[in-house]
A and B are shown apart, each in its own frame.
Chain A
């Protein structure tokens, strides 16, 4: 399979949670959420710098609309009880072998309720069953225990570390823990 099917515009995670294209959520709302979480996001992610402004959120939405479904790329807002709670996105990983990487962040106030674990599990299912990928990857700052725990709970395997790989918003060059889940493992877990 060389073509990438169109990704679903709506992914229902559970009764309270759904994923919608990030450009369908008002950028002002998403920006307000990022602004509220800026300090905590900046510890582990690159975009949440002190300079991050509404215009960056608007540009991100525009780019996401443009790249939607293009070669396995798609960015969703996590909508929990009708409010944006974070984002989860997918893009190609490596140049061949139909691998994707999933990245995500969640409002600090909503952590600990399983929203992200369920969202990652659901998007992983979409990747394997609707988009026909061969493997899904996740990488997280080695010090980001919560993010790593999500990958581990969903059944991803720890593959090692890439050193000094992400310049986060605090200006630190972080080592990333890498996880992967292969189609064969996914199919095994399903039965």
Chain B
């Protein structure tokens, strides 16, 4: 996938490992409480070294397993992250995951970013479907696939953990190429 994706005038996606680890670390720490409800890695001890290790793994996955992680910039400000994986799926099914800083929610940033990746996936990479998973109680995250016309097809029970180590179910949404409105 491209190193950089211009979503629109306000939003730019850039390979996640091109963002300075300190910048990622700072925003994650501003959002620890917000992120920790639904993500296992958003721990108080997640330090700059931890971010670097994650970025290095992301660089390897980018090259080797076709998993692509991007930083989201909103009006030049680092706002969160979005990633897509599953390009090696034998049935052309890729999944998208994301997080956004709490202070930037409500601007349609994530909906526009997800929409751009879906377009790229269907138009350029010949995907057959895109899948999004979100915890049942994560209403904001769920609103994105719902807004974009995804179909809720079921749940995966206890397939994720939050920062406290508690199991979370995941609601599964999917959008088939044949359903995509462009």
Contacts and interface: CB of A to CB of B under 8 A. Distances in A.
Interface in A92-146: 94, 96-97, 99, 134-135
A162 interface: yes
Contacts, number: 53
Nearest to A167: B91
Interface string A159-176: 111111111000001000
Contacts of A165: 91, 93
A169 to B, nearest CB: 13
A2 B154 CA distance: 28
A159 B171 CA distance: 10
A72 to B, nearest CB: 15
Interface size of B as a range: 20 to 34
Contact of B167 (A97, A159, A160): A97
Nearest to A165: B91
A167 B172 contact: no
B10 to A, nearest CB: 33
A178 B129 CA distance: 18
Contacts of B156: 94, 159, 178, 180
B61 interface: no
A97 B161 contact: yes
B124 interface: no
Given A164-B176, A165-B93, A97 B153 contact: no
A164 B128 contact: yes
Interface of A: 94, 96-97, 99, 134-135, 157, 159-167, 173, 178, 180, 182
Interface of B: 90-91, 93, 128-129, 131, 151, 153-161, 167, 172, 174, 176
Given A159-B154, A160-B155, 13 more contacts: A94-B159, A97-B158, A97-B159, A97-B160, A135-B158, A159-B155, A159-B157, A160-B154, A161-B153, A161-B154, A167-B91, A173-B91, A180-B156
